[in-house]
Structure 1
Amino acid sequence: MPHASMRAMLDRLPSIAIPWILLAVSAATIGGALFFEHVLGYVPCSLCLDGRQPHYFAMAAALIAGILSREANIGIGALIFLGLCVFAYLTGAGISFYHLGVEYHWWEGPETCGGGNLVANSLEDLQAALQGGAKAPRCDEAAWTLFGISLAGFNFVITLALAALSALPLLRYFRESRGEA
């Protein structure tokens, strides 16, 4: 999409809709991660779990921003919570970028590069896992990719886009407060 048409589309997007979009996309992102974990059986590494935390925080902040939004004006309270969303999403993008670097071996990961969900459903499952030498997943090996992009890569792109979207009402507010159209 050309730059001019993207800007026109974003200018038409009402600021009061943005918190709800943030909430929905973060919930879908977390839902996708939980689907991969609990339905498809991919055990998340510690960095995967860390990458989810900003979404949880941002969902709460976006919900509060959405509730504080008014019909015609988003309001200063909502803008504060959207600012918290920007911070959360940029933090999430940083975590995901770090995880990508570990996966692509650009740098070393944490020494404890495991710690995924190793909780057994029964005592027998736990004993079998311990006898079989169950290991936590490695942070430096992507468990799943699509077009060469890992889940950490998708999370990076999603959180970066959500950071930009959550900053949009703030930018509009500062632009309007300076008298710019």
Structure 2
Amino acid sequence: MTLPLSSRQMVALAVAGSAGLLIGALIFQSLGFAPCELCILQRWPHLAAALIGAAYLALRLPAVTLIAGALAAAATSALGVYHSGVERHIFEGPTSCTSNGVTGLNATDLLAQIQTAPLVRCDEIVWDIFGITMPNLNAVFSAGLVVWWLIAFAKARRGA
């Protein structure tokens, strides 16, 4: 089965996909769901993918450029998987946005930890629906975008 879309149309939709995920994140933020450090990190590859795709479309860059879009989508998908694991305490998150625990701390160290604590922690689920969190959604949708970018690349290489 082949998709009836041209490679350029597919790239435009990939750009729209990354832009849509970015806009969705900003909407959630405007609704009071403050992002943690890992949430913000996941946004940068989407911005890169959108810019790569826009440059490809505007400047008629070579097809190999689309691999960079796929890599950017893969990066944010991987970050989404990692963040999902941090939220569920499968992986240890960055010390800058996770709880270090209080075992063995004296009062001075405990106070210092409290004063330097992030406003939003990476290891706490801020929002979910049916147990699916925002990093889960980002990981899955971004993995789909990786496949989309690669199909667009294959079509572009064939001149379609």
Regarding TM over 0.5, the answer is yes
1:41 aligns with 2:32: yes
8 Å CA contact 1:66, 1:78 repeated in 2: no
8 Å CA contact 1:47, 1:99 repeated in 2: yes
Percent identity reads 31
List gaps (5 residues or longer) in structure 2.
99-115
Distance change in 2, residues 1:62/1:173 (3 Å) = closer
Please report how far the alpha carbon of residue 55 of structure 1 lies from its aligned counterpart in structure 2 after TM superposition: 0.4
TM-score (norm 2): 0.81
Deviation per residue, 1:122-179 (Å, 9 max, x gap): xxxxxxxxxxx985111111100112110000110111111110011323456x49xx
User: After the TM superposition, which parts of structure 1 deviate over 4 Å for at least 4 consecutive aligned residues?
Assistant: none
> What is aligned with 2:18?
26
> What is aligned with 1:4?
none
TM-score (norm 1): 0.72
Deviation per residue, 1:94-139 (Å, 9 max, x gap): 111100110111111010016xxxxxxxxxxxxxxxxxx9851111
2: distance between equivalents of 1:172 and 1:22?
14
Letter of the 1:55 partner, please give it: H
Name the Cα RMSD after superposition: 2.0
Which residue, out of 55, 59, 66, partners 2:57?
Answer: 66
For residues 53-132 of structure 1, the aligned pairs below 5 Å read: 53-69=44-60, 77-113=61-97
8 Å CA contact 2:38, 2:83 repeated in 1: yes
List gaps (5 residues or longer) in structure 1.
1-7, 70-76, 115-132
Figure out how many residues of one structure are paired with residues of the other and give that number: 142
8 Å CA contact 1:65, 1:81 repeated in 2: yes
More relative contact order, 1 or 2 (CA 8 Å, 6+ apart): 2
> What is aligned with 1:143?
126
Secondary structure at the aligned position of 1:12 is classed as coil
Which residue, out of 10, 16, 35, partners 2:8?
Answer: 16
Letter of the 2:27 partner, please give it: F
